[in-house]
Structures are given as C-alpha cells and as structure tokens.
Structure 1
C-alpha cells in the first residue's frame, strides 16, 4: 500500500529510459517480440510500432524532464492523460536502447498494457495500472527472495535507498532486475546449503532449474550480469550430473547467442561514432589495460566520479531530481556502517560458505567492470578520455551481490539479532522513504491522493 501511494507522487515517464521501455512493452503486447527497421532497406534506428496516443502521452510528459521549462504542471499533464484513450493507430518509434533486453523481462508491462487496451481505459488509467502491476510483481519477487534467504541489513538498505525505491516504483526493468538478483541469490544459497548437507534430490532438481531460468533472464536483460553464469557452474561442480551439465551448456549457449544476435542486428545511431560497437569491443579485448585505465580515469574525474557516487543513492528522474546532499552523505555513511556490521556477523559462520562467498564477490566485481564496458562500447566512441553515460543505478545489482557475499548466509537469528534488525530496518525505511517523498514532492508537487 505504501508503494502504491508513493508511486502517485511520480508523474508518468519520469524514470530514465522509461519511454523506450513502455514503447517496447506495447510492441510486445501486440506480438512484436523483436525490434526491426522502419523498412527493409532503411538506415537509422531499430524500433517498432506503438500506439499513437501512448507516443503522444510520453511526448507530453517529456516536456517536464531535464532542465526544460514547461508552461504546464505535471498535475495538469496527468489530468489531460485521463481524457485520452487508446488510438488503436500504430506508428514507428525508435527503441534501439531496449534491443539488448530479452522480451520476457517485459511480461508484467506488456500484460498491464494489453489488459488496459482491452478494457479501453484512458492513458492515465492504463499507465497507473501497468505501473502498479510491475511494482507488485517486484514486491512479490522480493517477498520470495527474502523467504529463501532473510536479508541482512546491508541488502535491506540497498533496496530501500531512494534510487532503488524510485526504480521499483517506476515501470522500467530496473526494479525487476533488482528483485530477480535477490531471488537468484536466495535460490543459489539454498541450493548450496542443501548440497553441502546432502539434501534430497527432488527439491534440488526444481531449484537448479529455477536458478538456470532466473540466470538466463538476468544476463539477457542486463549484459553486465553475464558473470552470474558462475553461480550455476559452481553448483554443477559441487554436485555433477549429466542433466545439469546439459542445462548449463544450454544456458550458456542461449545467453551468449542472444547477446551476439542483438549486437549484430541492432542499429543505433543516436551517437555519431567512427567505429561500430563490435569494432570497439575488439579494440578493448585486445588491449584490456587501456580499458582499465579508462575506467580509472572515469572514476578519478571530478565531475563524473562524484556523479556516480551521488546517482547510486539518489539522483532521480532524468538526472534532474537530486535528493539533498546531506541526505546523500548520510545514506552512504549508513551503507558503510552496515557493510562492516554484515561482515562481522558473517565471520562467525562456518567455512563451508567460503567458496560461495568468493564466487559472489567475483560476480559483483566483474559485473561492475562489465557495466563500464557495456557503456563504453555502445555509448562512446574510440578513443575516449573518460566513459560518458555511466550512472550509479547500473551498479545496484553488483552491490547486492557483494552484500550477499559479505553478509550472514544462515537463517538462524537470535532474539537480540531479530530485534536489532527490526529496529534498524524500521529506522532506515522511515528515513530513506521520507527523503524520497520530500524530494519527489519538491520536484513535481504531486500529492499522493
């Protein structure tokens, strides 16, 4: 209920790339699973066909993004969206930025839009319903993840901080990826424990299959999460079987095949470059030290480095809605303190988890590097002085993997620990969500009711 109330403080299409995400979802709802060219021999962007009124709705809402000075208020625009229904007239739109994402990740979005169109709701009602459906899907996945593995305080803080909460409340794919990362982590820990303790074969089969499925969706929706393939590999090595080997080989083939397919078929000319994506990939693979130096230069850059730190916890909207700077410093202090606390609790557990922790840590570190790599080869030309376009929210999933790695992996908690976690979690939720609510109201002036 709190999520649905707070979502009403955010006007439509105010999350980064949300316009493309919902256009892609509308294409999928109408049966267009893959992007295409405007015409067989056309040059330009890869995209598809979306409803005309949905396109216009997104265009209206874009007038209040960034530093634009709109003549109308967000509330007026949302009210106007209540007056327009579905046009049932489809036009081609650019959606090249979503080409790398597996259509399956858009199932909640496409379902919401399809139901709304079938019931002939207004644009605002359709948007609100779709956003609610996506948010509830994320919360359901989080509930499952936390049932599998009760989250440590650092995981809770990363999910509750304003940047994560804002993405969970918005109909993009970030919230779904955050929740699925935690589900995958919980399944992997449960499977690892079962195999260490000689668990029965029946639950191991379905759990390993679920791990393969979630891994496939994640690595084909966020390319920088490809290192997550190491989790099912670890479980396979821990308890080998031919069916598991076949499933893992199929997972790798499907994941890498999808990535190669979209690299070869996507036309994205939003950035003028003298090299293609594949050419830049080859250059960096041949000279990895140059790429690592480029990452170091980006982090050392005064403006980009600071923006990465700030946007990890609270640069909302289209990079135009910043939480107060003291709040940003306070949230980072909380994250640092909880990281130390999680490590202290985890140190008391048995050494049987050492290998699992090492794999999770490696996945977090390599996913972080691949996030830089993905932006460097798709959004920058070569040569470059720094990597432009990197945002802090890209590192929330790697941070969650690191939080799982350094935190306690046992389910048991003493009464004192449970009371402490409950109190600290409540205080964090109150502070983080208050910062988010105040920031949103100050930016958009939209009341929750």
Structure 2
C-alpha cells in the first residue's frame, strides 16, 4: 500500500537531485551565471511591455496568480478579466512607447511607473487573444506577481520579479533538455537569434513555451532511443509539459503524434492511456476556448468556431489561401525578416545585412549538422518530428485565418515570423544531430559559425535597443520609417467606401493634420478603432482605394482609461485623379469610421488641422 507514496516521494525529490547535480559542476554554474548576467543586462535595456501583446499575456498571468482559470465575456464586450488598477496604469504608462519609434524613455515616465503600488481595486480589461491559452504556461510569471503582492513590492519590482521567474524557468528547462539529448548546432543557433532572446526576456509566454518545446523534443528523442521502467519519470515530465504546451500553443496540436508514436513503438498499455488522456484534455480545452472567446477587435464575417469548422470542411480552400500568402513577395520578405531580426511591436530591426548574415549562418549550420546515417537509423522519430513541424506551420496559418483575417480571405493576415520558431526548432530536431555526434573538425567549424550569431546578438542588439528606447536620432527614425515601408508592413490597403445617406454614428475622433501634395491627401488622426484593422467611409460620391498605417495612441487609451483605444490612431493616404480639384473637394469632405466594438462615428476637426468637416463657415 505504501508503493504509490514511495513513488510520489521519488518523483518530487527528483528535481532536488537534478539541481544538486547541476550545481556540483563548475561549468554548469558558470553557464548559469553567464545566462543571468546576459538576461539581466538586456532586461535593464528593454522597457516593460515592449514584446508584442505582452500586456495581455501579463493580464493572464495576473489572473492565474489570483486563482482564476476562466476569463469572462461581459455583454457587448470582448473576453477579458479583472486586474489590479495600478497594474493596468503601469501598462498604460509604458504603452506610450508601444510602436512609437519617436517616443523614448524619460525620467517622468520612469518616476510615474515606479510610484505605483498594488491598489487592491480591480478593473475590467479586454484580452480576448489570450483566452485561447491555458494559463499554466504563465505559472513562472504568476509566481513572480504573487510574490510581489505578498511582499508588498511596487508594481515595477513585481513586474521585474515576474521577468526573473520566467528567465529562471527557461534556464532550468533548457539545462534539463540538453542534459537528456545533446542539442544540435542549428537548435542552438535558432535559440540565439536576437528576437528569441528579446522575447525570452519578456513576460509573454514565448520564452517559456520555446523552452517547453525544446524539453519535450529532447525527452521524445531520448525515449525513442530506448525506454525502460526507470524512464517513467521522464515520460511524466514529457506528458505534463506537452499538455501545458499544446493548450497554450494550439498550433502545436500535431505534437500529439509524438506520444502516439511512443505508444505504438513500445505497445505499453499505460503509454496508450497517457496518449488518450492528453488528447482528451487538449481537445476539450480547444473546444472550450473556441466557444468561450468573444473577440470584437476584428470583423471576421463569422464567429471563430464557425470559420474553423468551415475550413476543416473545405481544406483545399484553406490550402489555396496559404499558397497565395506564402507566394506574396512582400509577405515572404516580412516572414523571413521578422523570423530572424525584427523585434518589439515590429519597429525594431537589427538591419538587413545582419539579418542576411544570420540567415546564411543558420543555413550553414543545417548543412553541417545533417547526418544521413542518423536519419536512416532513427527514421521513425525524425519523420514524426518533421511531419509535426510542417503540420504546426500550417496550423499557424489556419489559426490566423479564423481569428484575425476577415472572411472571405485572399491572403492570411497577421502571421509573423516568430510564429514559425516552433516549427523551425522541431525541424532542427528532425534533421540534425547533436553536437556530441559531430567529428572534431566539423564541431570546431560549427561552433565558429554559432559564434557569428551570438556575436551579432550580443553586439548589435544593445545598439538597436539604446537607439530605439533612449537615444533621440532623427536620422535613425527616417531610416527605420523607410525600411518599414519598403518591407511592406507599415501601410495596408483598404477601401474608402461611399456613404451617401446620413451617417448614424456620433461625432467622435479627431483629424490632427491634413496635407495635400500633388494629387494625394494625407490625414493623420484618431478614431474609435479597437484594432489595427480599420474601416473608413466618406461622403464622396464613389468608393476609392486608400492606404492606411496603424498608429498606436496610448494617450487616447489613457484619456478614456481603456486599453482598447491603443489602436485608435491612423495615417490615411487618399490618391485622387490628377485632374481633381482637391481644395474644393476637401472643403466639404467628411470621414467616417466603423468598428465592430465601438460602432459608427464621424470624425471631426481638432482645430487648425485643415480638415473642415463639422466646422461652421461664416462669410
């Protein structure tokens, strides 16, 4: 009767033995020390909430710290939750930097942020995107926030404690993974890319999820090479980690094939039971997430669950849209560059040349790490990993199609290169062999190539962070603006539709500036938009194509005390026929907006902007 208790004691004591072994090695201690010096250095340079969607991720971590697994969807609102008012204010302070390249960290901002303490009063905020994630992936950040509350630390120190706990968990998981299976040079190269380090330092889930993926991949390879009764602990870690990972990264659901292959290979009843249990838990969570999430940020034309089942029913329609997306030249460029060297809210880049150097180095690491002998001997696990990698990449496109792209779609919107890191890491497990399996000359060449990526990361990343957040440089701003527009992700196409009848909406929003150059009109301002996807109307007789750039407006969000207004800003370019009389057209021109969450509005003038809609004219 004592056997289960003895087994549980052994299971919980295992981490203690592992840590003891870790610290008994001087090299491991040195690696850990170096890791924390590097992360502490970059953490000091990167202001809070500069990772994409990081505020929403921390909201989810806060809710978990309060013991709340489920989020709520009030009537006529997107899904969200109740968070501490001071934590929300801390997010608003740093949202002034979000996506605004000309905004820098200043003393007033720092002082305002550091004076905030836990208030005990909570306010509702929307965060529909993170409702799809089972919150256990945020456990390290949640522990940091909870400790901050219990110790009555400031919000600032609690935030950085959450960062530290995430970094610590990443270090432990990667060390354990590499102790089980020697990592390949390509795997290490991918982990050393600047955007991966940038994301790993934040409080978003990216760093923890990547470490979990590497751990699960390493255990899978270890178990496929041989499994005995003593490996049951590793299998339990594998299955727990897999469930946490798949319920937080739905695109990785194809990884369920890994425990299925383990069960098929060893024909053990408890392995089949483990696979069945994991599959049921993951699929139930996905179904719950699809049915419980209300996301009014983008007008999709149908609910997410409806679109999901529609494309499952018509897979060739989905594949055609994927094909069109990956063959779009501007999207190809963006996928590649955002995979290797674009960070933050897509406004920080390490430069085209450095991106190309890293890309070429990764290709070289792939070539020297491939082993035909290993591929032949271990074809089962490697074929499984390759299939999972490709399927997971397709799932990225599917999820962005049903959650972010208006239906019907020609191309899939919202896919970033970082969403494909997991597939790339799985491919590195599938195609390459570990460092320990390389011959000495190849190992020396490979480590030298790896140092190229490490050097670019450690030398270039501090420079671009200082320039972005602390050093005012007009020349740098012009260069980045030109680079962003050239890369094709600043301006988006839209239609300025004609609205011939009286507009039903209220008069809200402002045009801050209107300029006319040649036959092009540019309007800069803000309206009631809940996302970067915007829909405009005008009182012109015909609908015409326009280009707009999304501008984040934390000042508007702060004024309305609602983070949903962060995406309210825009720069709208309207190109008319060269014979058009723009002066007379603009005299009576009115701009209207429509948003799925905020409804319809007519934008009015903020003063001497040159935009005259709603301004009374006196002779």
Q: Counterparts of 1:26 and 1:75 in 2: how far apart (Å)?
A: 27
1:245 matched to 2:278? The reply is: no
Of the three residues 218, 226, 230, the one matched with 1:202 is 230
Contact 1:96 1:266 in 2 (8 A): yes
Superposition RMSD in Å: 1.7
Contact 1:81 1:122 in 2 (8 A): no
Q: Counterparts of 1:427 and 1:390 in 2: how far apart (Å)?
A: 28
2:488 aligns with none
Of the three residues 402, 405, 408, the one matched with 2:430 is 405
Tell me the CA shift for residue 356 of structure 1: 1.0
Q: Using a 3 Å threshold, how does the CA distance of structure 1 residues 92 and 350 change in structure 2: closer, same or farther?
A: closer
Tell me the CA shift for residue 305 of structure 1: 2.0
1:56 matched to 2:96? The reply is: no
Q: Deviations over 1:83-109 (max 9, x none)?
A: 221111111111111111111111111
Tell me the CA shift for residue 235 of structure 1: 0.8
Once the two structures are superposed, the pairs formed by residues 204-283 of structure 1 within 5 Å of their partners are 205-283=232-310
1:154 aligns with 186
Dislocated runs of 4+, deviation >3 Å? 67-70, 409-427
1:381 matched to 2:406? The reply is: yes
Tell me the CA shift for residue 180 of structure 1: 0.8
TM-score by length of 1: 0.93
Once the two structures are superposed, the pairs formed by residues 55-204 of structure 1 within 5 Å of their partners are 55-67=88-100, 69-70=102-103, 73=105, 76-195=108-227, 200-203=228-231
Tell me the CA shift for residue 412 of structure 1: 4.3
Q: Deviations over 1:393-435 (max 9, x none)?
A: 0000110000111111585455445544444433431222222
Q: Counterparts of 1:272 and 1:173 in 2: how far apart (Å)?
A: 26
SS at match of 2:248: coil
SS at match of 2:81: strand
Contact 2:84 2:118 in 1 (8 A): yes
- Name whichever structure is richer in helix by fraction: 1
1:23 aligns with 59
Moved more, 217-226 or 287-296: 287-296
1:14 matched to 2:50? The reply is: yes
The gaps in structure 2 that reach 5 residues or longer are 1-36, 472-619
The gaps in structure 1 that reach 5 residues or longer are none
Once the two structures are superposed, the pairs formed by residues 280-295 of structure 1 within 5 Å of their partners are 280-295=307-322
Q: Counterparts of 1:317 and 1:365 in 2: how far apart (Å)?
A: 26
Of the three residues 314, 330, 336, the one matched with 1:303 is 330
Tell me the CA shift for residue 388 of structure 1: 0.7
1:361 matched to 2:386? The reply is: yes
- Name whichever structure is richer in strand by fraction: 2
SS at match of 2:339: helix
1:45 matched to 2:78? The reply is: yes
Q: Counterparts of 2:132 and 2:295 in 1: how far apart (Å)?
A: 11
Q: Using a 3 Å threshold, how does the CA distance of structure 1 residues 281 and 226 change in structure 2: closer, same or farther?
A: same
TM-score by length of 2: 0.68
Tell me the CA shift for residue 389 of structure 1: 0.7
Q: Deviations over 1:363-385 (max 9, x none)?
A: 00000000000110011121111
Q: Using a 3 Å threshold, how does the CA distance of structure 1 residues 136 and 254 change in structure 2: closer, same or farther?
A: same
Q: Counterparts of 1:263 and 1:330 in 2: how far apart (Å)?
A: 41
Q: Counterparts of 1:411 and 1:244 in 2: how far apart (Å)?
A: 30
Q: Deviations over 1:205-249 (max 9, x none)?
A: 222222211111111110110010011111111101112111111
1:4 aligns with 40
Tell me the CA shift for residue 75 of structure 1: 5.4
Aligned length: 435
Q: Deviations over 1:145-191 (max 9, x none)?
A: 11111211111110000111111111110011111111001101110
Q: Counterparts of 1:83 and 1:278 in 2: how far apart (Å)?
A: 43
Q: Counterparts of 2:176 and 2:347 in 1: how far apart (Å)?
A: 33
SS at match of 1:63: coil
Q: Which has the higher contact order (CA 8 A, sep 6+)?
A: 1
